[in-house]
Structure 1
Amino acid sequence: MFYLTELGNRLKEAREAKGFSLEDLQELTKIQKRYLIGIEEGNYSMMPGKFYVRAFIKQYCEAVGLDSEEIFEQYKSEVPSVYSEELPEQLSRVQSRKTMPAGNSKVVEMLPKVLAVVLVIGAAVLIWVLVSNYMSKPDIDDKKGAKQSEAVGYNKSDGFKEEKENPDKKQNDVKPDSSDKKNEDESDVKDKKKEQKLAVISSSGKNSTYELKNTDTFKLKVTSKGSPWVGIKNGEGKLLFQGTIDNNESQEIDFTNEKEAVINIGRAYETEIFVNDEKLEYSISPTEVNTQLVTIQFTKAE
């Protein structure tokens, strides 16, 4: 039987202070419940490896609002150290792919020479085109000038004859067109009708629901001001994004063809939500309740 370690007891107290059960924390972090229990009891031998121990503890801390770096420093005697040879096999494969095969080095060496040849050929073609256009320009201008002079002569005589026969025709041709102004007014009215409305319709505990209407688009952007954990689903429960968003980074998803967006936030005070570039104002103070579940219901404008 395992008993709570000092670190496990600290994490459990923070979890219970947030009102989270182990099932809630499993849903929030996607870490299996048995591993969460192992973290609280200090039973690290059940974990897949030392690397995962630290990774799981870090996610646990973020979910309950603790500083993971501070926790690692304070309880470094309890948390196992991780060395490069203990990293998961997937990470090792990623690192190995960065090494360029020896056969490609020759291609890289030849690339500048190939580019130089292409540039020389391109410059020669450009010079040839410019010279050809310049040489043929006088003939074209002469023909164009002759045609313009003929047209001017013809128009002058016809214009004089037309004015003589009907001097009042010009005045009759100019009429104020009220349709343009009418169309502009109708366009302004349509724009005003399409001005989106984003309003809160309910809020309780950590849950808040908003309504988005008077728009035919729904583009969601979640911006980080720290390192919050965020999970985003559609109205049918399909997970579209999950993870930590780095400082000053954003996650954007187009919900235009969806009816609902559900945003699960681990640190609301480090997170900003934008709907079609309009900033959403939290109905529940993010400093008082830093773990929130925000639902946005979308009704597309006709």
Structure 2
Amino acid sequence: MTELGTRLKEARLSKGYSLDDLQEITKIQKRYLSAIEEGNYSIMPGTFYVRAFIKQYAEAVDLSADELLETYKSEVPANKTVESTTTATIQQPQSRRSLSKIPSKGFMDLMPKLVVALFIIMAIVVFWYLFQQKVNNNSTPVKKEEPPQVQVDPPKTSKPDNNKGNATAAGEDQNTTDKDKTKKDKKQQKLSKGTLVNDNATTDYTLTGAKDFKIRVEVSGETWVGVQDENRLEISKKATVYHADDIVEVDAKGKESVRIRLGAASNAKVFVNDEEVEYAIAPANRPTQNIVIKFSEKE
């Protein structure tokens, strides 16, 4: 057990919380909370979640998360992005030195052969072009010129086509009706402002006046995404860590509510029937968030 884990555990016990209590407060799985206390970060879904989970744990037991992370920063694994950047910076000069050592003798030996091959290809292209030109010239028929013919038609009296005018007017009226109906459906939908629940990690919304109940999460960076129904059954294709440009779509029609779990809310945008959901609490202040949307067809 690390010093950081010992301090967090002592604070939890002083509050009288069990791991089950803390799981309910933070919405973090109990096995991850236990791993933080034991310093076993290898079972975490990613290094990003280590710092996020430690911060939530500390806030739940009234400890300063920033102070803990700074004091015990040697015990917390570094972010993978930083490590990858450092490794790439170190390896780049070595790769350039390796490239500079590639012998050029073999390439110089191939130069005469490449030049000859290039001339042969150019000769074939020119020959083919001239051949096609000759074939086209020989196959073009000579048209015999004929004197122009002038045809005089008697004048016609045009009558207004009332049926055509009526059909056009009917089509325009139908298009106008369809557009008005679409606008009316959009105006009927109403998504309430988010209301924070006691744990300050869950926000409740209510969707009314809509016939559809479609959820879309657009991911711009690494984040955990899971969508559950009112019975806490997973209805998304897969609850896991998604990456930039991934899109999670769920048709929740027939469900009373959905619960959207975001591991890094700043890396995701949530839409309900193409209407973006505004976070009630800034993702920078609360990386991990739960968004609960209750559905009601009546306004």
Give the TM-score taking structure 1 as reference length.
0.50
Instruction: Name the CA distance, whole Å, in 2 between partners of 1:224 and 1:21.
Output: 34
Q: Within 5 A, what are the aligned runs for 1:180-219?
A: 180-195=171-186, 196-200=189-193, 202-204=195-197, 205-219=200-214
1:297/1:36 CA distance change after superposition, 3 Å:
closer
Secondary structure of the residue that 2:177 maps to in structure 1?
helix
Secondary structure of the residue that 1:184 maps to in structure 2?
helix
2:53 maps to which residue? 63
1:216/1:251 CA distance change after superposition, 3 Å:
same
1:233 maps to which residue? 228
Instruction: Name the CA distance, whole Å, in 2 between partners of 1:9 and 1:249.
Output: 38
What is the Cα deviation at residue 193 of structure 1? Answer: 1.3
Equivalent of residue 42 in structure 2, options 54, 64, 70 = 54
Instruction: Name the CA distance, whole Å, in 2 between partners of 1:76 and 1:293.
Output: 25
1:91 maps to which residue? none
Instruction: Name the CA distance, whole Å, in 2 between partners of 1:228 and 1:11.
Output: 25
Q: Is the CA contact (8 Å cut-off) linking 1:203 and 1:283 kept in structure 2?
A: yes
What is the Cα deviation at residue 208 of structure 1? Answer: 1.8
Kindly provide the CA deviation profile for residues 195-239 of structure 1, in whole angstroms up to 9, marking residues without a partner as x.
143332633433322233444333322233433333321122212
Q: Is the CA contact (8 Å cut-off) linking 1:64 and 1:266 kept in structure 2?
A: no
Instruction: Name the CA distance, whole Å, in 2 between partners of 1:225 and 1:10.
Output: 35
Kindly provide the CA deviation profile for residues 159-188 of structure 1, in whole angstroms up to 9, marking residues without a partner as x.
x9xx9xxx79x3474574243343233222
Secondary structure of the residue that 1:252 maps to in structure 2?
strand
Equivalent of residue 283 in structure 2, options 281, 286, 291 = 286
> Structure 2 stretches of 5 or more lacking a match?
57-65, 78-152
For this pair of structures, how many residues does the alignment match?
197
1:193/1:207 CA distance change after superposition, 3 Å:
same
Secondary structure of the residue that 1:256 maps to in structure 2?
coil
Instruction: Name the CA distance, whole Å, in 2 between partners of 1:247 and 1:187.
Output: 37
Aligned residue type for 1:293: N
Pick which of 20-29 and 176-185 moved more.
Answer: 20-29
What is the Cα deviation at residue 290 of structure 1? Answer: 2.8
Instruction: Name the CA distance, whole Å, in 1 between partners of 2:161 and 2:261.
Output: 68
Aligned residue type for 2:211: D
What is the Cα deviation at residue 254 of structure 1? Answer: 2.0
Q: Is the CA contact (8 Å cut-off) linking 1:202 and 1:210 kept in structure 2?
A: yes
What is the Cα deviation at residue 190 of structure 1? Answer: 0.7
What is the Cα deviation at residue 65 of structure 1? Answer: 4.5
1:258/1:15 CA distance change after superposition, 3 Å:
farther
Instruction: Name the CA distance, whole Å, in 2 between partners of 1:176 and 1:9.
Output: 84
1:217/1:263 CA distance change after superposition, 3 Å:
same
1:14/1:214 CA distance change after superposition, 3 Å:
farther
1:75 maps to which residue? 75
RMSD: 4.3
1:31/1:22 CA distance change after superposition, 3 Å:
closer
Kindly provide the CA deviation profile for residues 92-136 of structure 1, in whole angstroms up to 9, marking residues without a partner as x.
xxxxxxxxxxxxxxxxxxxxxxxxxxxxxxxxxxxxxxxxxxxxx
Q: Identity over the aligned pairs, expressed in percent?
A: 31
1:210/1:287 CA distance change after superposition, 3 Å:
same
Instruction: Name the CA distance, whole Å, in 2 between partners of 1:29 and 1:233.
Output: 16
Secondary structure of the residue that 1:232 maps to in structure 2?
strand
1:270 maps to which residue? 267
Secondary structure of the residue that 2:221 maps to in structure 1?
coil
1:265/1:186 CA distance change after superposition, 3 Å:
same
Instruction: Name the CA distance, whole Å, in 2 between partners of 1:250 and 1:190.
Output: 29
1:280/1:173 CA distance change after superposition, 3 Å:
closer
Secondary structure of the residue that 2:193 maps to in structure 1?
strand
